[in-house]
Structure 1
Amino acid sequence: MVTPDADVIVVGAGPAGSTVAFYLAAAGVDVLVLEKTEFPREKVCGDGFTPRSVRELVAMGVPMRPEDGWIRNKGLRVRGGGHVIHLPWPQTETFPDYGVSRTRKDFDQTLAVHARAAGARIQERTQVTGPVTDERTGRVVGVTARPVDASGRRTGDEVTYRAPVVVAADGVSGRFALALGLEKDPRRPMGVAVRTYFRTPRHDDDWMESHLELWDGPPGRSALLPGYGWIFGLGDGTANVGLGSVSSTAAATKIDYKDLLQRWVSHLPPEWEFTPENQIGPVRSAALPMAFNRKPLYHRGVLLVGDAGGMVNPFNGEGIAYAMQAARRAAEVIVQARARATDAQRDRVLATYPGVMADELGGYYTLGRAFVRIIERPDVMRVLTRYGLPRPALMRLTLKLLSDVWDPHGGDASDRFIAALTRIAPAA
């Protein structure tokens, strides 16, 4: 009998991987995380986290001190249709009433350090190359991996690591899932995020800012472009400035998003100082796999978590909160499975994971898919922003729905309305 190298192997140490590793280690599980890069490392992200993400950080006990680079925000400033409105994060029993900002370079390292402190083994510069399967059952019983240098070049021989459970948290590429024949569903929404950094006097803004209209020139006197823009102050003299666009299917678009970002930024107010001289680093982009676009979430001993399972919110492009939420749930399922006496019993428990996630997010993601079909048309967005933004009550409900910061256990009439919608919507 081959001795396993760990109780659980996690592929990838992004927010999903580090979070599941933290919870497993805290429960006394021997968990080995294999990460192809080394920390700190860059990732494309808006760097702004809603109260849903903050809830997950609080649950893990991650300190969010200002002296460590965390900056709080109190809500969303929305610009569009000639209007500017401020929407404070709602006060609910489920979520805190503030968000935070932190660069992904720092954020991912913070979570990895936190997981290590709980007892997780995180092995950097180790690129997983594929699954190892049992010849008799076809079940995944480990992974193959090779050491790499900082540029990703191979530096040694391939090694086999074995464990009875594997968590695939390797991001949007989903290479581990692909090796098992799990393809993306092209009918699910796919987003694109593009961002860069600027030195700016707006760096300490305590509102996350969203621009619902992107103009190819002076606002109101030029073409309206698809997508929405954001500005998130980081409190260190810089801001993350980017845009997102979404399509109701995974079909590729011909839009040059980097050029689109530069054109949009060039028409923002000059006092914000988003000039080429103040730009820090290149414009970078990433795909956003949405609404469970890869299934099943459990397959032959492997659980998909985060972007590997297409868990980005189609309403707003947020992925980290859902990666961490799914990681927490995956860890709970794994811990319960380990308490069963036989392989068959353990597998039945692991197989409950897709149902857990469908119950929590399936209906909401179905609503999000319908929302994307509506707003991917710029002419429709123009009407919605022009006539919807001046109505505060409607926008407060919209904020809760789009940010997924509503109270499922009661709250006010808007919370109950959203809860009813998510219950009615099929978790497809």
Structure 2
Amino acid sequence: MRAGRDDDADVIVVGAGPAGTSTAHWCASAGLDVLLLEKASFPRDKVCGDGLTPRAVGELARMGVATQEEDGWIRNEGLRVVAGGRSWELAWPDIVSYPGYGMARSRMTLDHRLAQHAQASGAKLLERTKVTAPLLDERTGRVVGVEAQPLDARGRADGVTTTYRAPVVVAADGVSSRFATALGITRRDDRPLGTAVRTYFRTQTAAGTTTRHEDPWMESHLELWDGAPGASNLLPGYGWIFALGDGTTNVGLGAVSSTPAKQSAAGNDYRALLETWVRNTPDEWGFRPENQVGPIRGAALPMGFNRGPLYRDGALLVGDAAGMVSPFNGEGIAYGLQAGRVAADAIAQARTRASDDAREATLTTYADRMRADLGGYYTLGRWFVQLIEHPQIMRACVKYGLPRPVVMRFVLKLLSDCYEPRGGDWVDRVIAGLTRVVPAA
């Protein structure tokens, strides 16, 4: 994979979301020439809950991203769970592996900040550059670059297609990942698929100022009803209220099905469900149409390694392009950041190998490391989704499980993926043990 004289970079990264910018940062920090291609221009919006778990905060710390409050970050203490007419405030676990707090920041500014950080590390960013196809070696079929089309401010083609060459290309182009699809790496239909919809509300209202925008707890509502006439059905998913500290609050809901086919069969109108839910919130929260900022937007959540292989013939998949969203909670930022770090390490190490076979074997370690760390956890998540698809099981969990402190401790660590992988208390050991004994497929 050693860069040749005709190459434009040592590595090309397609997509400048958290996974792509993490990859670019770590590769550039290792001394590699990095070309980061983004089809939009910053700042740009992204459908997300905007919440960062302690695991994600830990990755930002590794990257050296400044997260001071005066720079637009807000910390949160833990998770407030609302269900069955009650609420519980659960502090983030105090463990060695991750910080004891989460954060929140809108993706409009988060992604821009991470792209700037990658640039400061030495990566070259090209915005309004749409990758249209992989470039393949005619003899071996190996990925050796990309074809890219410059775009104007409206996203229309603007200029001639350009070829960029590099011995390694990283696909970080999101849930659809046209780059991976063009290589024949398609999505699996036996993995969970989630849907998230969200909007924003100002907390400065006609009736005064609410404090929802500076709530120190990320709030999760575990009971979502489909709004059907008569007896409504309990949906597998949750609603969220995440304070952003800037006078606005991210309000949304996510639902998950064990397979894409089951989600399609459900046929739920999630935008209408969100409208119904916020309409029934207390007036003092200010979640009313006159305070809404922007429309309700939705996105698919690819879960549990729903696309693979993670590495093949010079192309690595990171973040949503590889389906690295947790089936437990819809969290994807932490895993995208982690994947960028692990991918960059494999790429940098491969450059030091003296033969093609050794370099290829080193690049393959990226997939092995990601599956070793997340494969068992994602398998547990798939089983979890299969259970909560049954309304009677969901009702039993809410009624009999949540009121028990020991159950809540277990649920918080499992659902947030904030447990000690080695050592810790008995809850950590149980979860870590389960992730090791289940298939990591």
For this structure pair, what is the TM-score category when the shorter chain's length is used for normalisation?
A: over 0.9
Residue 364 (structure 1) aligns with: 377
- Secondary structure of the structure 2 residue equivalent to 1:351: helix
| Counterpart contact for 1:203–1:235, Cα < 8 Å | yes
Residue 194 (structure 1) aligns with: 197
Cα 1:323–1:68 shift into 2, 3 Å: same
Cα 1:97–1:181 shift into 2, 3 Å: same
- Secondary structure of the structure 1 residue equivalent to 2:201: strand
Deviation, structure 1 residue 380:
2.0
Residue 296 (structure 2) aligns with: 283
Query: Aligned pair 1:34/2:37, yes or no?
Result: yes
| Counterpart contact for 1:194–1:285, Cα < 8 Å | yes
1:289-300 to 2 correspondences below 5 Å: 289-300=302-313
The partner residue of 1:350 within 363, 386, 402 is 363
Residue 77 (structure 2) aligns with: 74
Residue 403 (structure 2) aligns with: 390
| Counterpart contact for 1:196–1:282, Cα < 8 Å | yes
For 1:375-409, what per-residue CA distance to the aligned partner results, in whole angstroms no more than 9, with x for missing partners? 12333212211111111111011100010000112
Residue 204 (structure 1) aligns with: 214
Query: Aligned pair 1:55/2:80, yes or no?
Result: no
Letter in 1 for 2:249: A
Deviation, structure 1 residue 234:
0.7
- Secondary structure of the structure 1 residue equivalent to 2:214: coil
Deviation, structure 1 residue 150:
2.2
1:7-406 to 2 correspondences below 5 Å: 7-200=10-203, 201=210, 202-215=212-225, 223-251=233-261, 252=264, 253-406=266-419
Letter in 2 for 1:382: R
Cα distance in 1, alignment partners of residues 275 and 238 from structure 2: 13
Cα distance in 2, alignment partners of residues 105 and 333 from structure 1: 30
Letter in 2 for 1:69: G
Cα distance in 2, alignment partners of residues 73 and 208 from structure 1: 7
Cα distance in 2, alignment partners of residues 210 and 380 from structure 1: 19
Cα distance in 2, alignment partners of residues 378 and 107 from structure 1: 36
Cα distance in 2, alignment partners of residues 93 and 352 from structure 1: 26
**246-255 vs 167-176, which deviates more?**
246-255
Cα 1:380–1:235 shift into 2, 3 Å: same
For 1:327-354, what per-residue CA distance to the aligned partner results, in whole angstroms no more than 9, with x for missing partners? 1000000010000112222111111211
Deviation, structure 1 residue 168:
0.4
- Secondary structure of the structure 2 residue equivalent to 1:203: helix
Cα distance in 1, alignment partners of residues 225 and 381 from structure 2: 25
Letter in 2 for 1:204: E
Letter in 1 for 2:158: T
Identity %: 64
Deviation, structure 1 residue 128:
0.2
For 1:308-344, what per-residue CA distance to the aligned partner results, in whole angstroms no more than 9, with x for missing partners? 0000000000000000111100000001000011222
| Counterpart contact for 1:165–1:301, Cα < 8 Å | yes
| Counterpart contact for 2:47–2:298, Cα < 8 Å | yes
| Counterpart contact for 1:140–1:300, Cα < 8 Å | yes
Cα distance in 2, alignment partners of residues 376 and 31 from structure 1: 43
Query: Aligned pair 1:419/2:432, yes or no?
Result: yes
Cα distance in 1, alignment partners of residues 46 and 348 from structure 2: 30
| Counterpart contact for 1:330–1:353, Cα < 8 Å | yes
| Counterpart contact for 1:217–1:264, Cα < 8 Å | no
| Counterpart contact for 1:78–1:211, Cα < 8 Å | yes
For 1:197-228, what per-residue CA distance to the aligned partner results, in whole angstroms no more than 9, with x for missing partners? 0112111000000000024569x985534421
- Secondary structure of the structure 1 residue equivalent to 2:67: coil
| Counterpart contact for 1:224–1:378, Cα < 8 Å | yes
Cα distance in 2, alignment partners of residues 378 and 117 from structure 1: 49
| Counterpart contact for 1:195–1:284, Cα < 8 Å | yes
For 1:106-128, what per-residue CA distance to the aligned partner results, in whole angstroms no more than 9, with x for missing partners? 00001000000010001100000
Cα distance in 1, alignment partners of residues 353 and 273 from structure 2: 54
- Secondary structure of the structure 2 residue equivalent to 1:361: helix
Cα distance in 2, alignment partners of residues 143 and 33 from structure 1: 12
Cα distance in 2, alignment partners of residues 320 and 363 from structure 1: 19
Letter in 1 for 2:102: G
Residue ranges of structure 1 left out of the alignment (5+ in a row): none
Letter in 2 for 1:282: P
**265-274 vs 292-301, which deviates more?**
265-274
For 1:290-318, what per-residue CA distance to the aligned partner results, in whole angstroms no more than 9, with x for missing partners? 00000100011000000000000000000
Letter in 2 for 1:329: V
Residue 207 (structure 2) aligns with: none
Cα distance in 1, alignment partners of residues 357 and 152 from structure 2: 40
Residue ranges of structure 2 left out of the alignment (5+ in a row): 204-209
Cα distance in 2, alignment partners of residues 349 and 400 from structure 1: 33
Cα 1:23–1:285 shift into 2, 3 Å: same
**C-alpha root-mean-square deviation of aligned residues, in Å?**
1.4
- Secondary structure of the structure 1 residue equivalent to 2:81: strand
